[in-house]
Amino acid sequence: MKVILVPVADRPECLVALNSAFDIASRLDANVIGCHVRTHRNETSRDSSRKPLVPDEWSNVLADLSPDEVSLRCEAARILFESRAEKHGFQLLHKPHPGVERCALWKEMVGTPSRILGIVGPLSDLIITARPDKKAAGHGRAFLLAALLQSGQPVLVIPKNWKGTIGRKILIAWNQSTEAANAVSSSRALLRLADEVTIVSAGKENLPGPKATYLADYLALLGIPSQRLATPGEHASKEIEAAFKDKKADLLVMGAYSRGRTRELILGGLTEHMLFHTRIPVLLLHH
């Protein structure tokens, strides 16, 4: 992971996301791109040539703001990003320079979260965003869903009140699926830096796909020791939460699932629960 993208707005939860992004980037010798999305009155969140986008709620988020107010919000977001970069010792650049690591770049783009994250998201290695309130609409939810559904890259979602580091003790939620395997593969850089990795499988491993033992072997070949934990599987979300707490983990890695291919915005029960009903940092990958 060399390119970490963070959607930036002048909001308290974004401060948490930025601090985590720069901390992780420091450990990975990676670079951080801060991207602020400026809305446009004529911008639409629907585009028939692409996958289903985030609902039209974004169109009303800043509809009543004047151009001056939009500019002020943009300037405040830039100041927040640059202050975090300087605090963590990152070099502020206007454009990338070969050979320069641990740099911070600022981007301002006009559009909706779906359109912008569909442009910059696929060419990042990790997207870090704050978790909105479970009943929230607007900014936070729009960016989170856009990052998950439009980028095709792993997304690290951080609770707004999270304190401490992320990625020292990692829990992998394993269910033998391709989605979970892709999430693990995309987080290899973080797994290599972890002090402890635990694989938790909820319920019987009687589905097509690799069992937890195969995952443990795969990680061992990468030089990543791991331990396994099996739970009954009667209440998967509660069991995963309990394992997270018991292991004193600080990151959950899992695949992101949809209930139906035709309605991508309706996430599966476990994914939605972990995103909106827990205080757990979650790294997900949705395809």
What are 115-172's pLDDT values in tens digits?
999 999 999 999 999 887 655 556 677 888 889 888 999 999 999 888 889 999 999 9
What are 19-73's pLDDT values in tens digits?
999 999 999 999 999 999 987 655 544 444 444 444 444 445 555 667 888 889 8
Say whether both 220 and 147 belong to one domain: no
Nearest residue to 116 (alpha-carbon basis) of 157, 137, 141, 147: 147
User: Cα separation of 166 and 148, whole Å?
Assistant: 19
Q: Which amino acid is at 271?
A: T
Note whether residue 267 is domain-resident. yes
What are 229-276's pLDDT values in tens digits?
999 988 888 999 999 999 999 999 998 765 444 334 445 577 778 877
Say whether both 8 and 150 belong to one domain: yes
Say whether both 17 and 41 belong to one domain: yes
- CATH number of the domain encompassing residue 223: 3.40.50.620
Tell me which residue range forms the domain holding 268: 169-285
Question: 258: which DSSP letter?
Answer: B
What are 182-222's pLDDT values in tens digits?
999 999 999 999 999 999 998 888 888 899 999 999 999 99
User: What confidence score (pLDDT) does residue 264 get?
Assistant: 40
Q: How many CB atoms lie within 10 A of CB 10?
A: 17
Note whether residue 218 is domain-resident. yes
Say whether both 193 and 142 belong to one domain: no
Say whether both 106 and 198 belong to one domain: no
Note whether residue 163 is domain-resident. no
Q: What is the DSSP string of 158-214?
A: E-TT--S-SSSEEEEEE-S-HHHHHHHHHTHHHHHH-SEEEEEEES---SSS--HHH
Burial (0-12, 13-18, 19+ Cβ within 10 Å), 130: buried
Note whether residue 197 is domain-resident. yes
Say whether both 182 and 134 belong to one domain: no
User: What confidence score (pLDDT) does residue 266 get?
Assistant: 43
Say whether both 47 and 154 belong to one domain: yes
Note whether residue 164 is domain-resident. no
Note whether residue 124 is domain-resident. yes
The pLDDT of residue 105 is above 90: yes
User: What confidence score (pLDDT) does residue 135 get?
Assistant: 55
Nearest residue to 186 (alpha-carbon basis) of 152, 159, 229, 158: 152
CA quadruple 193, 281, 286, 206: dihedral positive or negative?
positive
Among 133, 158, 183, give the residue marking a domain's end: 158
Phi, psi at 139, each rounded to 5°: -50, -65
Note whether residue 72 is domain-resident. yes
Say whether both 223 and 112 belong to one domain: no
Say whether both 189 and 101 belong to one domain: no
Among 125, 158, 191, give the residue marking a domain's end: 158
The total domain count for the chain is: 2
Note whether residue 215 is domain-resident. yes
E strand or H helix that includes residue 155: strand 155-158
Among 103, 124, 158, give the residue marking a domain's end: 158
Q: Which amino acid is at 183?
A: A
Say whether both 33 and 91 belong to one domain: yes
Least confident of 85-89, 94-98, 212-216, 256-260: 256-260
Say whether both 181 and 256 belong to one domain: yes
Say whether both 46 and 122 belong to one domain: yes
